[in-house]
Amino acid sequence: MLNFIKNLLFELGKPILSSIKSIGKYSLFISHTILSFNKFPKRISLLFEQMHKIGVESLPLIAITSIFTGMVTAVQASYQTSGYLPHRLIGTLICKSTMIELAPVLTALVMAGKIGASLAAEIGTMRVSDQIDALEMLSINPFDFLIIPRLIAGIIMLPILTIFSNVFGILSGYLVSLSLYNISSTEFFNGIRNFFVPIDLWSGLIKSIVFGMIITSIGCFQGFYAKGGAEGVGKVTTRAVVISSIMILITDFLVATLIFR
């Protein structure tokens, strides 16, 4: 019985100790990244390259996701408020739900699957193929060469993609409301204008900045410490997407609590 309890405690303690170790390693990773910022001006060209990869190349995916999200939001808003609220408030519901929650969170989750996985796989492949070691032997700091351009690009481009997501989502919701539920353009846009407050927009953009940092830092962190060849790269890629998605949802709650309480 005593051995059983010991084994049980040991099995329960392993994931806890592993999590604490990962948090410590991530903290060191972030501190090394911050200390390397003084050399960043030499990497401006890499920043624009990553901004194109993270932002411009992701725009079609964000557009498709946002358009159908806006359409579903319009359908649900009309159904759930039928008989309870006037049609002129449909635009308000679509606008507020899109700007505050749907656009930043769904954009971040989509980007965690696309960009987070891509960064983990790219840097992980460089690690297991000794390319990062080769950079260090050439006296090239891998943090300012690999990590910082990707991190800053994510922080810059996520808010921009969120703005596009807002536009696509609200316009698609407007078209569905106009065509299926006979809501006039005047009613729809008056509902937006009469109840809009700037914090609705800024809260989503603040969230997206934090989400951009989470996605890129976790993806780079997982790839930077990859090991075990192709199998190891696959594991860190999956881990990057899972951890980023969980952290996005947790951070969404924390930021919303700070802003709206």
Over the stretch 154-176, which tens digit does the pLDDT of each residue have? 999 999 999 999 999 999 998 98
Mean pLDDT, range 46-57, rounded to an integer: 90
pLDDT at 30: 87
Q: Can you give the pTM of this predicted structure?
A: 0.89
Please give the structure tokens belonging to residue 9: 């405690």
Distance CA 248, CA 129 (A): 31
Mean pLDDT, range 143-159, rounded to an integer: 91
pLDDT at 129 over 80: yes
DSSP character string of 42-92:
GGHHHHHHHHHHHTGGGHHHHHHHHHHHHHHHHHHHHHHHTTTS-GGGHHH
Least confident residue range of 53-62, 115-124, 152-161, 226-235: 226-235
The SS3 of residue 127 is helix
Cβ atoms of residues 194 and 95 within 8 Å: no
Cβ atoms of residues 174 and 188 within 8 Å: yes
Q: How far apart are the first and last CA of the chain?
A: 50
Q: Say if residue 219 is exposed, middle or buried (CB neighbours under 10 Å; 0-12, 13-18, 19+).
A: buried
Cβ atoms of residues 260 and 203 within 8 Å: yes
Please give the single-letter amino acid code of residue 236.
V
Over the stretch 188-216, which tens digit does the pLDDT of each residue have? 888 888 888 888 889 999 999 999 999 99
